[in-house]
Amino acid sequence: MIVGGSVRVPGDKSITHRALLLSALARGTSRIGGGLTSLDARSTARVLRRLGAEVSPLRQGATVTVRGGRLAPPELPLDCGNSGTTCRLLLGLLAGQRFSATLTGDASLRRRPMRRVTHPLAEMGARFDDGGHDGLPLTVRGGRLQPLRWELPVASAQLKSALLLAGLTGSVPVELTEPAPSRDHTERMLRALGYTLEQREGKIVFHPDGKPTPLALQVPGDFSSAMFLIGAAILAERGSLRIEQVGVNPTRTAALEVLRRMGAAVEIENRDEPFGEPVATLVTGPAELRGTTVEGSEVPGLIDEIPLLAVLASRAERTTTFRDVGELRVKESDRLALLARNLTAVGAQAVIDGDNLLVTGGDAPPRGRVTTGGDHRIAMAFTVLGTIPGARITIDDPACAAVSYPGFVDSLASIRVA
């Protein structure tokens, strides 16, 4: 295809979740512009309404208002849908509330590990009943919390954010050590609200001082969503694509360095930092790709981009190795297994070696049937691969893209000029 034009992508998923959750804690009215309206964002809005916050409908282009400040015990279980971020961050937020609540989700979310979050929250004084298995449904009984000093066993922004939110709702200090830096949207938002949060030598020290005040922010476009359009532009035959107002927080953009090593240039223009988060225009176009090695230390900064990078690797010269990507096993699907299986299904070469994924590129048009396991990023990555001339890829559940990117197929069509 030939790409062209200047487009925008929907609001950042991580920032939208955090903005909704912090708004629900703040007494008064918060205003969130440009927020994501996807199924995951709706899950957060839905559970917050169940907890008594007034959240206006999430509609594309409309500012969301949230009236929060006093959460109440929910009468029914809180259904987090497919959203791990909703569930894990909510566990932290509820740890400091003096009531109990039961969390559940769809079949994928019910399988995902929660003890990495509930274990440190229990150290702080919250109580949990997970029925003896590490997953949902799960009942949390919040209460008076103790300060926490904790070494995170995995670089997980969801875990880190849950613990920071527990510190906030329990009004107790939290000191965390991360094995590697993960996305820092929660830290930035807490600072923007006036809290003191120090980061030094891999440590995060948060002393919550006072209740949160209402937010007013404009959410940038989601870098992880933008990457699918960037991937399509790289695989195109000709043209150039501009994506405006994309969040380029450095804890999210490690994939750009990998693309550079693979031979694809993504220019960053019009940098700005209007609400404590860096925003820019990304400009890219077709490239001849070559294989690279993605080191384990790079993985936290590109964890959600691996499905897209893996399909690009299947079009690159030589082999690309993704090291230490075991965390992919506990995402919305077992992404590691599904990437290998689906790349193989469309005629590419992909093998799993321990916690590493090796993808060897080729030239033959990809053809075959893709099983998404309901995983939005698997669906979008293989839809992008299907834009190659001669490709014939069928995707069992293309609609699951709406978990993070409503209108993805239309966006992809809109960048095609021929």
- Binder of ligand S3P out of 23, 158, 333, 372 (CB under 6 A): 158
Q: Which one, 136 or 345, has the nearer CB to ligand S3P?
A: 136
Contact in structure between 147 and 122 (CB atoms under 8 Å): no
Is 157 an interacting residue with respect to ligand S3P (CB under 6 A)? yes
Give dist(CA 186, CA 132) in Å, integer: 30
Is 304 among the residues known to form the active site? yes
Q: Which one, 30 or 156, has the nearer CB to ligand S3P?
A: 156
CB 262 to ligand S3P: min, Å: 22
CB 149 to ligand S3P: min, Å: 20
Is 97 an interacting residue with respect to ligand S3P (CB under 6 A)? no
Query: Phi first, then psi: what are they for 90, rounded to 5°?
Result: -65, -35
Interface with ligand S3P by CB under 6 A: which range of 31-39, 154-162, 307-315, 409-417? 154-162
Q: How far is CA 205 from CA 99, 117, 121, 153, 161, in A?
A: 27, 18, 16, 17, 13
The DSSP secondary structure of 309-360, one letter per residue, reads HHHHHTTSBSEEEE-S-GGGGGSSS-HHHHHHHHHHHTT-EEEEETTEEEEE
CB 136 to ligand S3P: min, Å: 15
Q: Prior bond to 137 cis, omega within 30?
A: yes
- Both tokens of 267, joined, read 């220019």
* Per-residue binder mask for ligand S3P (CB under 6 A), 73-92, x = binder: ------------x-------
Q: How far is CA 164 from CA 84, 135, 407, in A?
A: 16, 21, 33
Q: Collect all residues with Cβ–Cβ distance below 8 Å to 276 and sequence separation of at least 6.
A: 188, 189, 191, 192
- Binder of ligand S3P out of 37, 156, 249, 314 (CB under 6 A): 156
* Per-residue binder mask for ligand S3P (CB under 6 A), 303-332, x = binder: xx----------------------------
CB 114 to ligand S3P: min, Å: 11
Interface with ligand S3P by CB under 6 A: which range of 122-130, 155-163, 188-196, 361-369? 155-163
Interface with ligand S3P by CB under 6 A: which range of 43-51, 57-65, 152-160, 337-345? 152-160
CB 157 to ligand S3P: min, Å: 3
CB 30 to ligand S3P: min, Å: 19
Residues 175-194 that bind ligand S3P (CB under 6 A): 183
Beta bridge partners of 68: 27, 28
How many of the chain's residues bind ligand S3P (CB under 6 A)?
Answer: 9
Is 108 an interacting residue with respect to ligand S3P (CB under 6 A)? no
The edge-to-edge listing of strands for the beta sheet with 127-129 is 78-79, 100-104, 138-141, 127-129
DSSP 116: H
Closest CA to 408 of 232, 235, 269: 232
- Both tokens of 165, joined, read 């939110």
- Catalytic residue selected from 184, 304, 353, 375: 304
CB 88 to ligand S3P: min, Å: 7
Q: Which one, 145 or 303, has the nearer CB to ligand S3P?
A: 303
Q: What is the signed CA dihedral for 43, 342, 289, 254, rounded to 10 degrees?
A: 30
Closest CA to 364 of 390, 343, 342, 394: 390
Contact in structure between 343 and 336 (CB atoms under 8 Å): no
Is 161 an interacting residue with respect to ligand S3P (CB under 6 A)? yes
Q: How many residues does the chain have?
A: 418
* Per-residue binder mask for ligand S3P (CB under 6 A), 12-51, x = binder: --x-------------------------------------
Interface with ligand S3P by CB under 6 A: which range of 48-56, 151-159, 279-287, 313-321? 151-159
CB-neighbour burial class of residue 57 (10 A; exposed 0-12, middle 13-18, buried 19+): exposed
Computed over its alpha carbons, how large is the radius of gyration of the chain? 21
Beta bridge partners of 392: 367
Q: Which one, 14 or 387, has the nearer CB to ligand S3P?
A: 14
List residues binding ligand S3P (CB under 6 A). 14, 85, 156-158, 161, 183, 303-304
The catalytic site residues sit at 304
